[in-house]
Each structure stands twice: as C-alpha cells, then as structure tokens.
Amino acid sequence: MFFISFIEKFVNLSLEIFSIDLNLILIGSYFLLIFAYISRFNAVSFGAINSGINRLPPNLLEASRSLGNPFWYSFRKVILPLLRPSILTAFILAFVDIIKELPITLLLRPFNFETLATYVYQYANDEMLERASSAALLIVIIGLLPILFINKIMNINKKII
C-alpha cells in the first residue's frame, strides 16, 4: 500500500508542477504492463521462494558466519545455491502465468502489441476457431514444457536426497 500511495503522490505532484498528466503517459506503455505483471504474479513467485527458504536449516548461515565469513559472502556461497531450484521454480511459474494472462494484457497493452492470449481472444471473438486453436495449443505447449522441466529437476533432487 505504501508504494501505491507513493505513486499516487508522484502523479499528483507532477500534475501540479509540470502540468503533465502521467496517467496518459503510463497508459499503453510497456512499463505499466510489466509493473502490472510483477504486482499480479508476485505472490506466485514469493510462495515458491518462501517455501524454499523454509526448508533450509537455520544453522547453515550461522555456521558460515561463525567461520568468519561476512553475511553477503555466506548468502552468496551457502544460501543462494540451495535456493536456486526454488528461484527457478518461481520464475517458471510466473512465466507460465504471464503467458496465459489475458485481462491485464487487454487493458494495459500498448498499441500493436499482441500476445498469444490476445490472439486466441481475437480469433475466438471473430469465430475463427481454427486459428484460435493453434494459438491456444501453442500456449499449452509453452506452459507444459517448463512444468516437465520442473518435474525433471524434482526427480533429480529426490535421487540426490
């Protein structure tokens, strides 16, 4: 909430000082689209990374620090390699959700910016179901490949443990 109120104050201040309406500048920009994707799918990524952090033993960082290593060195050499599967999982889950996201893309996309979801929507709306089905199948394939990759990583991790 703090960040949203900060943006609101910034927009109001720019309107008062420079007589520029930033809403018109932001609507239809890639920045606003990326910001909307990040704010919408942050919870998915945070959940995957948080579960990875909760699985780590708390004494790993303490053991590294007791050997005289600084915090950032310990984090980079001990914690981050153990969190790489969780970070990769978070990235893949967010990527799959963004690929199939339609409402945010339809509302905030710049002109002449099309995604697979918007193609499916436009073709289905125009009742060109043959073309819509090929784009929809591509969404399914793009969504399925990362899931198979995650499954392979999890099977490798089960064999190691």
What pLDDT digit, counting tens, does each position of 58-71 carry? Answer: 888 888 888 888 88
C-alpha to C-alpha distance for 37 and 120, rounded to whole angstroms: 19
Number of domains in the chain: 1
Q: In the structure encoding, which two tokens stand for residue 51, read together?
A: 């579960």
Q: Is residue 44 part of a domain?
A: yes
Q: Is residue 61 part of a domain?
A: yes
Q: Is the pTM of this model over 0.75?
A: no
Of 100, 98, 102, nearest to 122 by C-alpha is: 102
Whether residue 40 contacts residue 101, with contact meaning beta carbons closer than 8 Å, is answered with yes
C-alpha to C-alpha distance for 14 and 139, rounded to whole angstroms: 40
Percent residues over pLDDT 70 in the chain: 83
Q: Is residue 93 part of a domain?
A: yes
Residues 6+ apart with CB under 8 A from 64: 73, 74, 77, 78
Q: Is residue 110 part of a domain?
A: yes
Domain of 87: which CATH number? 1.10.3720.10
Q: At what angle do helices 80-99 and 30-55 cross, to 10 degrees?
A: 140
In this model, does residue 18 exceed pLDDT 80? no
Domain span at 65: 30-160
Q: At what angle do helices 80-99 and 129-160 cross, to 10 degrees?
A: 170
Query: Per residue in 117-127, pLDDT tens?
Result: 888 998 999 98
Q: H or E segment at 92? A: helix 80-99
